[in-house]
Amino acid sequence: MRNDFKVELKKAFGELVVINGDLEKSLPNTLNVSFKGKVGQDILTMIPEVAASTGSPLSFG
C-alpha cells in the first residue's frame, strides 16, 4: 500500500513531492514525504481525512 501511495503522489505532484528516508529500512505502513515550497500544516488542514503528522513522535518541543 505504501508503494502505491508513493506512486500516486509522484503522478499527482511530480517533482514537488520528495520522498524522505530509506524505504528499505522503514515500516511498510509508513511514508515520509515533503512538498517543495509548501508548509506541512497547511497541507494537512486541506485533507482532514488523512492521518498524518508534521513532526516526529520522537521530537521535543
Is 57 within the bounds of a domain?
no
Is 60 within the bounds of a domain?
no
Which neighbouring-strand residues pair with 17?
35
Please tell me the predicted confidence (pLDDT) of residue 43: 87
Sequence letter at residue 12: A
Positive/negative CA dihedral, 32, 9, 42, 48: negative
Residue-wise pLDDT tens digits, 21-57:
898 998 888 888 999 998 888 888 888 888 888 877 6
Is 55 within the bounds of a domain?
no
Task: State the cell numbers at 8.
Answer: 500516486
Please tell me the predicted confidence (pLDDT) of residue 30: 87
Domain that holds residue 42: 2-46
Read off the pLDDT band of 17 (50, 70, 90): very high
Is 39 within the bounds of a domain?
yes
Is 53 within the bounds of a domain?
no
Domains: count for the chain: 1
Please tell me the predicted confidence (pLDDT) of residue 61: 56
Whether pTM > 0.75 for this model: the answer is no
Q: Count of CB atoms within 10 A of residue 40's CB?
A: 14
